[in-house]
Structure 1
Amino acid sequence: MPLMRKIVNDPVYGFITIDHPLVFEVIAHPYFQRLRRIQQMAFAHLVYPGAVHSRLHHALGAYHLMGNALAELKSKGVAISQEEEVAARIAILLHDIGHGPFSHALEHRLIEGVHHESISLLIMEHLNKQLGGQLELAIRIFRNDYHKPFLHQLISGQLDVDRMDYLSRDSFFTGVAEGVIGYDRILKMLTVHDGELMVEEKAIFSIEKFLVSRRLMYWQVYLHKTVLCAEQMLVKIISRAKELIRKGIAVNAPTQALDFFLQQKGKLDISQHLDQFCRLDDADVMAAIKNWTLHPDRVLSALCSMLMDRRLLKVRLDSDPTDAELLNSMKVGLEEKTGISPEEAAYLVFTGDASNTTYDPSDEKINILFKSGEVKDISKVDNALIQHNLAHPVKKYYFCYLNPASIPDFFGTPNQL
């Protein structure tokens, strides 16, 4: 392959270098370029207006950190061939390529029962065929089917470069300082022991800061009550559109790709429709929502109008489940004021829960390698800040409902009903 070198100016890390023709070929592929049209943080920009970066930004950032991590490990004598290095970089580039529109918010909604990682693997295998088998090693590393497990741990693990980038990037674009981590120091402290990824003992405090920052970002940004509400409204919009279609009511999507998935009944074999899937992005969904603000179905049009104009449902976040009597009384009140059915009211008054775990050593450990050669889990070092009690998920319950003052705007006055 001919030598090539290109640089990308990244606001978080500065210049990112692309110095291998196969990597450039992957980046230039339409499937990867589609990630430009999928926002990294879904509706977080409704709370943090700067959070409009894309999954392509994140993929390139994780690629950059992967390169730094591999260079550091090689400098410490870890055996990594050029082929393995290129494969690991490509694997992290493509780790999120299976995300659909609005990423996690619509996962399992447009395509039921299929996780984005499964779609990522299908797309990687499809690209591998197009590229004459050159992604075989990248796929093995991605699947954790390679004899050097630390390469997979850099892609998917407690200390993977995926998490390092999204925390650094999301805190940068939201302006939330609590998410800032010392990714450069963590990378410098990475090491490999018995084939497993570990960190040197000098990095203990940086790792603890990393885990605490992740916890704070989840509750302050990713699971912010307004962000949760907006994402759940999007889920309700897609669910309502599908229900109307099942009832034989016309709900036209503005693009063929979105229309294809809305019209599907039952489980779909996504492996047979990868081209259709890769035509989908946030633009399809937002155009549909904009169109459906004028749909004759009052529930669908109300939800779409609220989301378009950021006049969201009211939302409460509590440590205890929403009282069933309160939930029922709010639904009944809405039915009486608008004339909608109990089934329709459930789209506008609903509850649910969100949870996050700071660190679960039973899932995957962060091992600290001491100078003596001893290995300890981060939660077991002396005076550990991260302890086993943080392995239990923190759960909060959200309660979303239509503000009574907004009823006339979306459903008319009682005299109009």
Structure 2
Amino acid sequence: MTEQPTKVTIINDPIYGFITIPNGVIFDLIQHPYFQRLRRITQMGLSYLVYPGAHHTRFHHAVGCLHIMQKALKTLISKGVNVSLEEEEATLIAILLHDIGHGPFSHAMEHSIIEEVHHEQISIAFMEALNKEFNGSLTLALEIFNGTYHRKFLNQLVSGQLDMDRTDYLKRDSFYTGMAEGNINTDRIIAMLNVKDDQLVVEEKGVYTVEKFLVARRLMYWQVYLHKTGVVAEQLITRVLKRAKELSHQGVKLPASTALSFFLKNKINQDNFRDSLDTFSKLDDYDIISAMKEWCLLDDFVLRELSKSIINRDLLKVKIRKKAFSEERKQKYINQLINTHKLTEHEASYFVFTGNISNQGYNYTHGGINILLNNGKLVDVVKASDQLSLKSLTKEVVKNYICYPKPKD
């Protein structure tokens, strides 16, 4: 009897072309409502207010990561690295689900209506719930994701200085924003990967490709991820949710979806988050946008004006510089707002605030990128490179910002 070929699903991706999804647990995970939710979560939050093309989703990114992880593992196996079928599938599952814990507009939830629960913790909670549902078939994937599996290079492929996550999002985000500076050569990076002493390494002839990758990452952070308009937009949506939660706790009934209402009314932190995981899985960007459209009509000045500023893209003014802004300058803007709109100092502080942003292109202290020299020795990419600017990428650059309402004519 002739064995029937395994059926596969093909996705047409604008970055890589055809992506093959094999039938089995990976296909079933993609079909799961927890994962399908990622179609409704933008990859870059509110960056589309700066770059109109940046409407791609966490779903796009996760499937892209799956594709290049397939290629990376195939490359390593072709070079004699022993990876079992079980390890291969588990690594693919780990990268597929690495961002499943992201909430609406990515990081806004973590700093507003959910207290001190990082998206990686939420991803683990989702993976553990799915592991129960899939009868333990995600156990090894969880070990690889958490870095507890003894073969460290598998974890480095999922979460490291040169992982498949960064490799996809740089290329994908540069494509959708139109920022050519971030366009890296993923095929070349993958082709140069190898394993030495259980560590992921890059062969010596790939050193210039890694240089380009690190420089591209730095440029994308300053020009895209930390663009001043994007920074103020993310701060505003965080404050929208904080104000909504504050009003809800005061007994104000706000129009919102069932899932959003739950998180506005209840105090959710690390201790009780897992009890509300299923409710969280029903929350996405559409809940927040729909709510803000309604909140534009409220009597509360703070929530109304914050919501209108995002919906209408009439954002606060933002200034960025190296030196910190003085409390006196901040207080001046707060006093102007208090006098103009008869607000309390607490209410005015929603519209006037300071903070900082930081960018470190390469952090060699947290598992750097090792170059495998032709003589078999391993050296860090900074030492292997003849690019003097690469060393400067290891230094963290911090800039300060102040946000305040634009002066009215």
SS in 2 for 1:95: coil
Match of residue 415 from structure 1: none
Structure 1 position 111, deviation (Å): 1.4
Structure 1 position 263, deviation (Å): 0.7
Match of residue 412 from structure 1: none
Structure 1 position 105, deviation (Å): 2.8
Structure 1 position 168, deviation (Å): 0.4
Structure 1 position 387, deviation (Å): 4.5
Choose the corresponding residue for 2:350, options 344, 347, 351: 347
Structure 1 position 20, deviation (Å): 3.4
Give the residue type in structure 2 aligned to 1:286.
Answer: I
Give the residue type in structure 2 aligned to 1:32.
Answer: F
- The reply on whether 1:335 has 2:338 as its aligned counterpart is yes
Structure 1 position 106, deviation (Å): 2.6
Structure 1 position 399, deviation (Å): 1.1
Structure 2 length normalisation: TM-score?
A: 0.96
Structure 1 position 284, deviation (Å): 0.6
Structure 1 length normalisation: TM-score?
A: 0.94
SS in 2 for 1:404: coil
Query: 236-245 or 163-172, which moves further after superposition?
Result: 236-245
Q: Which digits, 9 at most, give the CA deviation of each residue in 1:81-112, with x for residues without a partner?
A: 11111111111000000111111233232211
Give the residue type in structure 2 aligned to 1:358.
Answer: G
Q: In structure 2, how many angstroms separate the alpha carbons of the residues matched to 1:190 and 1:363? A: 19
Structure 1 position 2, deviation (Å): 8.7
Give the residue type in structure 1 aligned to 2:261.
Answer: D
SS in 2 for 1:97: coil
Aligned residues: 405
Give the residue type in structure 2 aligned to 1:64.
Answer: H
Match of residue 127 from structure 2: 124
Match of residue 18 from structure 1: 21
Structure 1 position 363, deviation (Å): 1.4
Choose the corresponding residue for 1:210, options 213, 217, 229: 213
Q: Which digits, 9 at most, give the CA deviation of each residue in 1:242-297, with x for residues without a partner?
A: 222233333332x1111001111363511111110100111111111111001110
Aligned runs of 1:65-84 on 2, under 5 Å?
65-84=68-87
Q: In structure 2, how many angstroms separate the alpha carbons of the residues matched to 1:334 and 1:225? A: 22
SS in 1 for 2:102: coil
Task: Kindly report the root-mean-square deviation, in angstroms, between the aligned alpha carbons of the 2 structures.
Answer: 1.5
Contact 2:113 2:268 in 1 (8 A): no
Q: In structure 1, how many angstroms separate the alpha carbons of the residues matched to 2:119 and 2:291? A: 22
Q: In structure 1, how many angstroms separate the alpha carbons of the residues matched to 2:295 and 2:321? A: 32
Match of residue 411 from structure 1: none
Match of residue 259 from structure 1: 261
Q: In structure 2, how many angstroms separate the alpha carbons of the residues matched to 1:108 and 1:298? A: 22
- The reply on whether 1:56 has 2:59 as its aligned counterpart is yes
Q: 1:191 to 1:293 in 2, by over 3 A?
A: same
Give the residue type in structure 1 aligned to 2:20.
Answer: T
Q: In structure 2, how many angstroms separate the alpha carbons of the residues matched to 1:164 and 1:272? A: 34
Match of residue 241 from structure 2: 238
Match of residue 319 from structure 2: 316
Structure 1 position 158, deviation (Å): 0.3
Give the residue type in structure 2 aligned to 1:262.
Answer: L
Q: Which digits, 9 at most, give the CA deviation of each residue in 1:30-89, with x for residues without a partner?
A: 100000000000011011000000000000000001000000001100001111111111
Structure 2 unaligned residues grouped into runs of 5+: none
Q: In structure 1, how many angstroms separate the alpha carbons of the residues matched to 2:144 and 2:390? A: 31
Contact 2:9 2:23 in 1 (8 A): no
Give the residue type in structure 2 aligned to 1:170.
Answer: D
Choose the corresponding residue for 2:11, options 8, 12, 27: 8
Q: Which digits, 9 at most, give the CA deviation of each residue in 1:319-345, with x for residues without a partner?
A: 111122211111111111111111111
- The reply on whether 1:305 has 2:336 as its aligned counterpart is no
Q: Which digits, 9 at most, give the CA deviation of each residue in 1:6-50, with x for residues without a partner?
A: 110000000000123111111100100000000000011011000
SS in 2 for 1:353: strand
SS in 2 for 1:123: helix
Contact 1:379 1:386 in 2 (8 A): no
Query: 36-45 or 128-137, which moves further after superposition?
Result: 128-137
Match of residue 368 from structure 1: 371
- The reply on whether 1:172 has 2:172 as its aligned counterpart is no
Q: In structure 2, how many angstroms separate the alpha carbons of the residues matched to 1:298 and 1:7? A: 49
Q: In structure 2, how many angstroms separate the alpha carbons of the residues matched to 1:54 and 1:208? A: 28
